[in-house]
Amino acid sequence: MALFKTRSAAVYGIDAHLIDVEVDMYKSGSARDFITVGMPDTAVRESRERIKSALINSGFGYPNKAVTINLAPADVRKEGAGFDLPMALGILGAMGTVSGLDRHLLVGELSLDGAVRPVHGALSIAVCARKQGLENLVLPAENAAEAAVVDGVRVFGVRHLAEVVALITRPQEFSPVTPQDAAQFTPDSTAPDFGDVRGQTTAKRALQVAAAGGHNVLMIGPPGSGKTMLAKRLAGVLPPLSFNEAIETTKVHSIAGILPSGAGLLRERPFRAPHHSISDAGLIGGGPGMPRPGEVSLAHHGVLFLDEFPEFPRNVLELLRQPLEDASVTIARSTMTLSFPSSFMLVAAMNPCPCGFFGDATRECRCTPGIIQRYLGKISGPLLDRIDIHIEVPAVPYKELRSNGASESSAEIRERVEQARAVQQKRGFVNSQMPVRMIRKQCALDEAGERTLEMAVRRMGLSARAHDRILKVARTIADLDHSETLSAKHLAEAVQYRSLDRNYWS
C-alpha cells in the first residue's frame, strides 16, 4: 500500500473543521524526502522530524521511501502540532501496519519518544467529529475529559503512539472515556464572599441589580474605597453556568490554551481582569497568524473587570463598543473572517481624577480642573452610553469599617438574583439583552412613570441609547421587587444610576 488517508481537524474561531490527511509513499532519488503541502505553518512543517523520531523510537521503524503529505482542503492555512498523530498514523497505514481508520478522527502532538502531548480546542474538535458522523475520536489523554462531554462520539484518550496502534488493531481491549452526565453538572463557586465587605450598601445594591439583569457597571471612587473588592465578588452572585453556557465558555478557553490539563467543563463563570497595559489584540482578539480570542471572549458568560479604566489606551477602550453592543467580536483577515462570542458583563473602576481625591470630603485634591477634564475625557461619551449603571463608591467611614455587624452574604444575594433571572428566562432573554422591539411591551409605563422618565431625559440630556438602558435597568429592579409592572420608584432608582456621569463629565 502506498496511499493512505486519515482524518483530523483544525480550529478556526471557536469551531473545528474536518481536515483530510493524505499520505503517499514512493521510491525517489532521495529517500529522505518528506514534503508537507496544503498551506502548513512552521509547526506543521517541522512535524517531519518529530514523526520520524517518534516512529523509530516507538519500534515501528521508518520507510526507506519519500513521503508526501497533503492536508486538504489545500487552500486553508493549517497551524499547530496537532496534525502529528494523524500524519504518523497515515505513514503507518501506507506501510501496511494499520488499517480501518475511516470512522476515526485523530489529533495530537508527538514527542520524539512517541508520547502524545495535549492540544488546544479538543471540545470543538469533538463537536466536529459528531457533525461529520465519525464515531471515534482519538486524542491525548489530557484532553479526553473535555471532549467526552459531547454525546454521540466515542472518545479515547491515549498517551503514546504505540497505544494508538494497539487501539486500532485491537479495539476490543479499550473502552471509551465515560462522558459527563449533563444532569450531574453542579457548579461549585469559589468566588470571594460579599459578606467580607463593610459598608458600601449603595454599591452592593447596584451590583445586585447589575447581576440580576446582566448590566454593565462603572464604579468611581477614591483609592482604597473597595471598588476592586466589590468587583471580585460579583461573579460569585451570578447564576451558575447552564450546561450550554459551560460548553461555549469551555470552547473559548480551550482554544486559547488556558484550560487546565485534564479538565472537563468549566464550572464557574470566568472573571477576567487584564492590566491596563494590554494591547488591542490582547483585549479584543487577533494577533499574528490564526486570530486568537482576546479577553472579551475569555470573559464570555462571565465578568470582564477593567481596573484603572482611564489608564487603558483610548483606542483600546473604543474597541469595546462592538462586543458590548453585539455580544460578539469579528476579526477580519485577508484570507478569512472569524467571529468569537463575547457576551460578558463589563465592570469598570476608576478614580475621579489622577490623584484620586476629587470631591473627597476629607482629603484635598491636587489636580487642576484641566487635568481632571483630560483624565475623565479618556472615557468617551459613546462608551459611557453603553454602561448601564454608574455608581459612586466613597471612602468607608471608620465606624462602618470597624463594625462587627453581619454583612449580607453572596449566597443571600445570589438567591434573589436567580429568582429575577428565572423571570427573565421565561421571557427568553436577560434584560440587558432585551431586543428594542420588546422594550415597549416589557417596560410599559403608567402616567407617573412617563413623567419621571420625561423629566430625566430632558434635564440630563440623555441619548436614545441611554433612554433604552434606563428602561432595561428599571425592568430588572422591578423583577427583583417581584413586580410585573414598572412603577415610578423603579424608574427613579434606574435614573439615579445614570446621573453620576453627568456630575463628572458635564
Cβ 296 vs Cβ 329: under 8 Å: yes
Report, as an integer, the average pLDDT of 471-480: 95
Query: Are both 34 and 151 inside the same structural domain?
Result: yes
Per-residue pLDDT, 453: 87
In which band, very low, low, confident or very high, does the pLDDT at 188 lie, cut at 50, 70 and 90? Answer: low
Does any domain span residue 430?
no
Indicate whether 55 pLDDT > 60: yes
Encode pLDDT of 246-273 as tens digits.
Answer: 999 999 999 998 988 777 888 889 999 9
Does any domain span residue 457?
no
Residue 361 pairs with which residues in a beta bridge?
Answer: none
- CA nearest neighbour of 323 among 386, 273, 378: 386
What distance in Å separates the CA atoms of residue 474 and residue 497, rounded to the nearest whole number?
Answer: 10
What distance in Å separates the CA atoms of residue 225 and residue 229, rounded to the nearest whole number?
Answer: 9
Helix, strand, coil in percent for the chain, rounding step 5: 40, 20, 40
For Cα atoms 203, 206, 207, give the angle at the middle one, nearest 5 degrees: 85
Cβ 5 vs Cβ 90: under 8 Å: yes
Per-residue pLDDT, 502: 64
Query: Are both 161 and 207 inside the same structural domain?
Result: no
Q: Indicate the number of domains in the chain.
A: 2
Per-residue pLDDT, 400: 79
Does any domain span residue 42?
yes
Per-residue pLDDT, 423: 94
Cβ 420 vs Cβ 212: under 8 Å: yes
What's at 156, amino acid-wise? F
Cβ 248 vs Cβ 282: under 8 Å: no
Mark which of 383, 408, 425 sits at the end of a domain. 425
Query: Are both 161 and 210 inside the same structural domain?
Result: no
Does any domain span residue 474?
no
Per-residue pLDDT, 37: 93
DSSP 114: S
Q: Which residue range forms the structural domain that includes residue 339? A: 194-425
Query: Are both 166 and 310 inside the same structural domain?
Result: no
- CA nearest neighbour of 419 among 343, 484, 479, 354: 479
- CA nearest neighbour of 69 among 32, 22, 111: 22
Lowest mean pLDDT among 49-63, 302-316, 329-343, 431-445: 329-343
**Residue predicted with more confidence, 60 or 183:** 60
What distance in Å separates the CA atoms of residue 25 and residue 2, rounded to the nearest whole number?
Answer: 5
Encode pLDDT of 241-252 as tens digits.
Answer: 988 999 999 999
What's at 241, amino acid-wise? L
Query: Are both 333 and 411 inside the same structural domain?
Result: yes
The pTM of the full predicted model, rounded to 2 decimals, is 0.89
User: Dihedral of the CA atoms 113, 115, 119, 125 (nearest 10)?
Assistant: 120
CATH number for position 324 = 3.40.50.300
Query: Are both 327 and 386 inside the same structural domain?
Result: yes
Grid cell at residue 175: 473502552
Per-residue pLDDT, 30: 61
Distances (CA, A) of 467 to 207, 209, 436, 470, 491: 20, 17, 11, 5, 11
Query: Are both 146 and 203 inside the same structural domain?
Result: no
Per-residue pLDDT, 32: 63
Does any domain span residue 485?
no
Report, as an integer, the average pLDDT of 278-288: 90
What distance in Å separates the CA atoms of residue 421 and residue 316, rounded to the nearest whole number?
Answer: 32
Query: Are both 320 and 218 inside the same structural domain?
Result: yes
Per-residue pLDDT, 161: 97
Query: Are both 333 and 415 inside the same structural domain?
Result: yes
Encode pLDDT of 380-396 as tens digits.
Answer: 888 998 999 999 998 88
Per-residue pLDDT, 189: 59
CATH number for position 140 = 3.30.230.10
Indicate whether 478 pLDDT > 60: yes
- CA nearest neighbour of 59 among 95, 100, 99: 95
Share of the chain above pLDDT 70, in %: 95
Does any domain span residue 17?
yes
Per-residue pLDDT, 3: 87
* 3-state SS, residue 328: strand
**Residue predicted with more confidence, 400 or 84:** 84
* 3-state SS, residue 9: strand
What distance in Å separates the CA atoms of residue 72 and residue 5, rounded to the nearest whole number?
Answer: 11
Indicate whether 182 pLDDT > 50: no
Lowest mean pLDDT among 88-92, 155-159, 457-461: 457-461
Distances (CA, A) of 30 to 26, 66, 68, 96, 233: 10, 7, 13, 22, 64
